[in-house]
Structure 1
Amino acid sequence: MNQTIFNLKFILPIILVNFCSVTYAQNFTVASYQWAPYIDNNKANEGVSIALINEIFTRQGHSISIKYLPWARALEDLDKAKVDILPAVWLKEERLKVMSYSDPYLYNRLIFIKSKQDPFEYHSSEDLNNKMIGVIREYAYDGKILDHSKAIFFVADSLISNLKKVASHRIDFTIEDEYTYKANVPKDLENQLSITNNALDETPLHITCSNTNPQCKTIISIFNSGLLKLKESGDLSKILNNFGE
């Protein structure tokens, strides 16, 4: 009898642990909008951001589902908690009222894309005086850009639209993450464009969830703890290196 009780002391906790892991395993919906190479619906691995999120959540016993949406719709669905996670977001002060941000997992190097014949190089904000700059709707640009009163901004819905305007000299340049530009520049424009050596800034990249989502704190906690473990093990560098980061 005593031996039976002794064994149960060890067996019962194991059963409970396994039961709890099943009970608390969750599936989270990630909005997938096209922003190669970070989010790329045309690739089997869905891009570096999706691959990283999947790795982090899977290692902790959870799973993710992908919902393909344009960026504006993804923002709307996040706010309504129809999706749980935006996978690649820049921090914007006004968004903090409605979103919670993870720790940064990458940094986007923002460069100027110009005509190949243009000798422009960026050194300071004064270099932007009287320049016509293409920006993308809903991007969370740093205040040092949009607050520049002597620059002229033209809003477009896509990078490709801005690249065409630069190539045809309708604007002086546009601003984009270096890897995003290299992954998306059309072949017919590649020989007409070049980039600045100096970056405007290095902008941190986060996942976010809506503060209206009751799982939001859990989502951020899972991601942050998983990201830390990947850094400590060296696996984060291995994952990013697979994507050329």
Structure 2
Amino acid sequence: MSRFPGIALLVALLLGEQAVAEHLRLTGDSWPPFTDQRLPNNGLAADLVSTALQRAGHTTEYVEVPWARVLRGLQQGDYDVIVAAWYSAERTQFGLFSDPYLVNRIRFLRRAGMPIEYSGLDSLQPHSIAVVRGYSYDAAFDAAQGLSKVPVLEFAMGARMLAAGRVQLTLEDELVAQYHLNRDLREVRDAVEFVEVPLSENGLHILVRRSHPLHQQIVREFNANIAAMRADGGYRRIFQRHGLASGD
């Protein structure tokens, strides 16, 4: 008998129909600590997503490819679920978003000691900003005209350009930036610092391809099981497994 019968009933009521189990091909790019094949269970986000979907009865596999291939592969049917995606209207044309299951706090970084502050998009106009090609940071920022955006392939490249004085700002999720600065970017860690005011706080979602015949069911099941995991402690335990004290 389940230790949490009320949660099991809640999941059943939320789903509201006989579920069909599928083998789901999950995908993401290398974005530690959220997704990375070198991390336990492919990273925090992949761990949360695969656990929620497996609780719904599905089997899963995770494939890691560059971000451009993640998006293209979902549209072409090579993959079923992107495990970590920020909302954008363009992506709703080919995918169905879940409710957010994590929150990313997007912050700018500047060279240490530089008097650059963020107080709205107008405050960015004098500065060059390294941005990862194809990423959606914030709808207003992404669409803003008149900003000097310098495309880069990954955050590490932007951080090194920042430390070398080739750009004046870059930006990334706070936990992602800290992860890299404490590991592969240790040589520039003391040369850069966070700007205090964040650009945005973005919900992190799964994105299920609309061409999958069960895309609506998969999203309902995922939402319901994340809610159940929050209630029974499974969500928090996954955060602890990845070195975070609490996931709520």
Q: SS at the partner of 2:41?
A: coil
- How far the C-alpha of 1:240 sits from its partner, in A, is 2.5
Tell whether 2:41 aligns with 1:45. yes
Q: Which moved more, 1:202-211 or 1:23-32?
A: 23-32
Q: SS at the partner of 2:42?
A: coil
Q: Which moved more, 1:96-105 or 1:40-49?
A: 40-49
Aligned mates of 1:203, 1:65 — CA distance in 2: 26
Q: 2:92 aligns with which of 96, 104, 112?
A: 96
Larger Rg: 1
Q: Which residue of 2 aligns with 1:212?
A: 211
- Structure 1 unaligned blocks of 5 or more: 1-22
- Report Cα offsets for 1:220-244 as digits up to 9, x if no partner: 1221111121123243233234432
Q: Which residue of 1 aligns with 2:65?
A: 69
The size of the alignment, in residue pairs, is 223
Q: Which moved more, 1:235-244 or 1:51-60?
A: 235-244
Q: Which residue of 1 aligns with 2:179?
A: 183
Tell whether 2:142 aligns with 1:143. no
- Report Cα offsets for 1:151-185 as digits up to 9, x if no partner: 21111111111111101111111110000111123
Q: Is the 8 A contact 1:112 1:174 kept in 2?
A: yes
Q: Is the 8 A contact 1:113 1:174 kept in 2?
A: yes
Aligned mates of 2:142, 2:70 — CA distance in 1: 23
- How far the C-alpha of 1:47 sits from its partner, in A, is 0.5
- Report Cα offsets for 1:168-206 as digits up to 9, x if no partner: 111111110000111123111111111112211101100
- Structure 2 unaligned blocks of 5 or more: 1-18
Aligned mates of 2:126, 2:193 — CA distance in 1: 20
- Report Cα offsets for 1:102-123 as digits up to 9, x if no partner: 0000110000011112122223
TM-score for both structures, normalised by structure 2:
0.84
Q: Is the 8 A contact 2:56 2:225 kept in 1?
A: yes
- Report Cα offsets for 1:52-73 as digits up to 9, x if no partner: 0121122222221112211111
Q: Which moved more, 1:121-130 or 1:107-116?
A: 121-130
Q: Which residue of 1 aligns with 2:13?
A: none
TM-score for both structures, normalised by structure 1:
0.85
Q: Is the 8 A contact 2:28 2:84 kept in 1?
A: no
Identity rate of aligned residues, in percent? 25
Letter in 1 for 2:42: E
- Report Cα offsets for 1:125-163 as digits up to 9, x if no partner: 232122111111110132321333342111111111111
What does 1:29-44 correspond to in 2, within 5 Å?
29-44=25-40
Q: Which moved more, 1:92-101 or 1:23-32?
A: 23-32
- How far the C-alpha of 1:44 sits from its partner, in A, is 2.8
Q: Which residue of 2 aligns with 1:122?
A: 118
Q: Which residue of 2 aligns with 1:170?
A: 166
Q: Root-mean-square deviation (CA), in Å?
A: 1.7
- How far the C-alpha of 1:43 sits from its partner, in A, is 1.3
**Residue 187 to residue 96, structure 1, CA distance change in 2 (3 Å):** same
Aligned mates of 2:20, 2:125 — CA distance in 1: 55
Q: Is the 8 A contact 1:128 1:150 kept in 2?
A: no
Tell whether 2:82 aligns with 1:83. no
Aligned mates of 1:61, 1:167 — CA distance in 2: 47
Aligned mates of 1:200, 1:76 — CA distance in 2: 27
